[in-house]
Structure 1
């Protein structure tokens, strides 16, 4: 992801925290909420510019968070654990189901640099020209552009909530000069917000952005030292293919041992070794069909 690098502060032990006045202010008017969302987005931009933040992993985990929100919009009960299972435990020929497919759509949207072609791969139900038209609907500041894109999609395709939210996040990324999408709005919006229009929708998007930016900054601060620790213990791993396995763990929300570039038994032993070293966590709490991640 392309951000202005801030190497001159890379020696700090922690990432800069979101200012307390952003998180504690009680704003009601569109103007005041827009001011807070601008401050939150600026701070997020700074945090995402830090070299120690594992960008691909962060986007993948945010894709999971966005998928969970969208699944709830549909009235389904699947949460993070079920969504991970639906995608990571798929066997050849299996279908992921509606919830798993929602997660896969978000994952496809965040894994490549933004382009009409890559968005077309993530959203195959829509023609590339239509996607470009919706993105062009937005004008002005980042969140305003996102709200306008969101409204444009949902006006023409009222049931395309996931596509609309992906394109709204894309509008934010483009406005800020980011070359990859960062899922922000879905987790902060309510189902009822998606039926709003005009200033009401803009207000909802600004509020969602504030809450989501706070969470993304928190998650970045959590993942950065975990990623650093995994990199630090990597030289201790002797298994052939361990380096590629570590790279997978540094870029994905979760992995099943069977997907690592090692024989099954060696992959399980590697994951157990990394857990013992405090470098990764077992995410399911199960004895079988386990998943691992930072």
Structure 2
């Protein structure tokens, strides 16, 4: 992204809006690139969004702890408040934006809005994408001031829908500061524009890094002779972190662990926890 987008001094509302538009135009190219593992990019941004929401709520969990909270869940397990926020963001980015998908994403510890309410919010607001987004964010927070994560997920959905993107790409949740969510009207719109600029500066290098990592992973695929290796590699391109137990195509837990260790040896996958047991792996 050109340096003038992020280094320029946005002193007027017009300048802020212009720079955020430039940032979104560049991001539009990134989310259309085939060499970027889009599913993985959204998952990484969802983790950042969850961490930002948890921090604003005054909780101590950070990315590694949030990964642990959801990485080993079994049916019937409760991930805790921070884990629920993480699951909501993960579900929000998994499927194309729709009323049904958003209702599913918000159905947890976060208060659930009825599908009819979600549909109304998706069509609310006037003006450009960021202006519409700010309107929805303000509306939801005015009625539910403690439900920041739910409000941000809906706002992100409105933003990407206005941009013509299929999936939520979290931008506001990371870029907005704690005090920004208490703003209203023009002040909130300007904060959303600034959040887009700040987030774009992080998303674009992250996308480039993941594209390089995905290319290295695909390059070693012919060397992997394990049955089901192709399906296992696909998980790495779509998930932030994977436990060996998730590789059902590899027949056994032992085979899955050996497969992950082999990828680490080849330098195309990282072990993310630093532990000897209960490990998680990712690009």
Alpha-carbon distance, 1:48 to partner? 1.6
Residues of 1 paired with 2:237 and 2:102: CA distance?
A: 24
2:153 is aligned to 166
Q: How far apart, CA to CA, are the structure 2 residues paired with 1:110 and 1:207? A: 22
Alpha-carbon distance in structure 1 between the residues aligned to 2:122 and 2:129: 12
**Correspondence for 1:8:** none
Q: Residue 137 of structure 1 contacts residue 152 of structure 1 at CA under 8 Å; is this kept in 2?
A: no
CA RMSD in angstroms comes to 1.0
1:271 to 257, 260, 266: 260
Structure 2 length-normalised TM: 0.95
SS state of the match for residue 101, structure 1?
helix
Who is 2:164 aligned against?
177
Q: Report the 3-state secondary structure (helix = DSSP H, G, I; strand = E; otherwise coil) of the residue aligned with 2:9.
A: coil
Give distance in 2, aligned partners of 1:95 and 1:276: 34
Point out where structure 1 has 5 or more consecutive residues left out of the alignment. 1-17
Runs of 4+ in 1 over 3 A off after TM superposition: none
Q: Is the 8 A contact 1:136 1:149 kept in 2?
A: no
1:98 and 2:81 are equivalent in the alignment: yes
Pair 1:144 & 2:131 matched:
yes
Alignment of 1:233-272 (within 5 A): 233-261=220-248, 262=250, 263-272=252-261
What SS does the aligned partner of 1:87 have? helix
1:43 is matched with which residue?
26
| Distance in structure 1 (CA, Å) of the matches to 2:31 and 2:75 | 36
Aligned to 2:226, what secondary structure does the other structure show?
coil
Counterpart position of 1:153: 140
Q: Deviations over 1:179-229 (max 9, x none)?
A: 111111000111211111000000110111001011110110000011111
Out of 174, 186, 189, the position equivalent to 1:187 is 174
Match status 1:227 vs 2:214: yes
CA–CA distance in 1 between the matches of 2:14 and 2:26? 19
2:35 aligned residue: 52
Provide the rounded CA distance (Å) in 2 between the counterparts of 1:81 and 1:108: 18
CA distance in 1, matches of 2:134, 2:237: 32
- SS at the partner of 2:24? helix
TM-score normalised over the length of structure 1: 0.92
CA distance in 1, matches of 2:33, 2:257: 32
- 1:88 maps to what in 2? 71
CA distance in 1, matches of 2:73, 2:162: 36
Q: Could you tell me whether the CA contact under 8 Å between 1:138 and 1:171 is conserved in 2?
A: no
User: Would you say the 8 A contact 1:44–1:213 is kept in 2?
Assistant: yes
- Tell me how far 1:71 sits from its aligned partner: 0.3
Any idea what SS the aligned residue of 2:20 has? helix
Aligned to 1:14: none
Deviations 1:128-173 (A, max 9, x none): 1111222222211111111011011111221221111011111111
Contact 1:56 1:111 in 2 (8 A): yes
Aligned to 1:130: 117
How many residue pairs match? The answer is 277
SS at match of 1:251: coil
Gaps (5+ residues) in structure 2?
none
- SS for the counterpart of 1:152 is helix
